[in-house]
Amino acid sequence: MNRNKKGKNRKLFKKKSHSNNRLGCIIAIIVLIPILFGVYLYCQQINIQKNNEPQTDTSFQIPPGKDLETPVSLVPRQEQIIRHSGYTVSYNKDLKIPNWVSYELTREETKGKEKRGNRFIADPLVTGPIATNADYTRSGYDKGHMAPAADMKWSPEAMKESFYFSNMCPQHPQLNRRGWKNLEEKIRNWAIADSAIIIIGGPIIEKHPKTIGKNKVVVPQKFFKVVLSPFVKPMRAIGFLFNNEQAVEPLSSYAVTIDSIESLTNMDFFAPLPDEIENKIEADINYSLWPN
């Protein structure tokens, strides 16, 4: 083959190579476009989910020597503060029921496997009279847990303590088994979603309460719970108020401000919080802000 023909063949081969390369690049771009677009959409979805999730705030520090679980009493009252492994109780020996019960529930604690106990017994740390099973027998009232047994599944000791009579109040059966139970279940969901929840609950005693049993255990007219989610941004808190009667309405209908419960109980909840935060969250009643 002469040199001119060889040169022409080389030029033709180069042109074909360049064409093939351009075609390959175009095909690669066409293939990559939907892949890259898919990656972009996936990243966008992840960002949306992260923005919708509660953000934990570990920067908040409770002042030394203070704790968010202990309310401040604004009036004198009979009480014995007892700290158990699963909850703290302010026990009133005159009423034979607690003034309040408080505890923190964490996400990990909701995963406990301890089986429910059913042995209601006297609190060995109580000094003074306390209710017995006989007081509740045929009274028409349930032994209503203030700190529920289902929140104490993380420890055999905590489960046992949850059945102390210092943690019980006479509750209408259709409150204890309906509205009160529904709120307890909802709070467990909030603990899972928000990493930790602080709960304070108890009875509200108005004038001339009735009593049950030989020990004259006082029957509350109302019950309250206040709930704080301290490690989310923004911090949230909400109160719930129930009459001691059948409670079958949606939980949102029992939601109230913590300020209103403070007025009824003469207690100051979450006092260690900075005033600007405490004032804001305790005036809020937006149930829709809480995880479903």
Mean pLDDT of 195-211: 96
Q: What is the average pLDDT across 250-273?
A: 97
Q: CA 221, CA 208: separation in Å to the nearest integer? A: 10
Active site residue 145: yes
Name 196's bridge partners. Answer: 106
Q: Report how far residue 261's alpha carbon sits from residue 188's, in angstroms, rounded to the nearest whole number.
A: 22
| Higher-pLDDT residue of 95, 44 | 95
* CA dist., res. 31 & res. 53, Å (int): 34
* Overall average pLDDT of the 142-167 stretch: 98
Helix (H) or strand (E) holding 197: strand 196-204
| Active-site position among 18, 145, 172, 208 | 145
- With b meaning 16 or more CB within 10 Å and e meaning fewer, what string describes 158-180? bbbbbbbbbbbbbbbeebbebbb
* Residue 126, both tokens: 């109580």
User: Rounded distance, CA 86 to CA 105, Å?
Assistant: 9
Express each pLDDT in 215-247 by its tens digit. 999 999 999 999 999 999 999 999 999 999 999
DSSP for 140-194, please give it: S-EEEESS-GGG-TT-HHHHHHTTBGGGEEEE-HHIIIIIHHHHHHHHHHHHHHH
Q: What would the DSSP string read from start to end of 220-235?
A: -SEEEEEEEETTEES-
User: Does residue 1 carry a pLDDT above 80?
Assistant: no
Superfamily (CATH) of domain 65-289: Extracellular Endonuclease, subunit A (3.40.570.10)
Helices (H) and strands (E) in the chain, counts: 7, 15
Q: Is 215 annotated as a binding residue?
A: no
Residue 164 or 7, more confident: 164
pLDDT in tens, 105-128: 999 999 999 999 999 999 999 999
pLDDT at position 24: 60
Cβ atoms 283, 239 nearer than 8 A: no
pLDDT in tens, 27-60: 666 766 766 666 566 656 655 454 444 554 444 5
Q: Give the least confident one: 22-36, 55-69, 148-162, 207-221.
A: 55-69
Residue 85's pLDDT band (cuts 50, 70, 90) = very high
Q: Contact, 155 vs 222, CB < 8 A? A: no
Domain locations along the chain: 65-289
CA pair distance 252, 237, nearest whole angstrom: 14
**Roughly how many angstroms between the first and final C-alpha of the chain, as a whole number?**
83
- Give the model's confidence band at 20: pLDDT under 50 very low, under 70 low, under 90 confident, else very high: low
How far apart (Å, rounded) are the C-alpha atoms in residues 32 and 54? 35
Q: What pLDDT, on a 0 to 100 scale, did the predictor assign at position 42?
A: 62
Q: Considering the chain, what is the average pLDDT of its residues?
A: 88
Position 253, amino acid: S
Q: How far apart are CA 159 and CA 151, in angstroms?
A: 8
CB 97 within 8 A of CB 168: yes
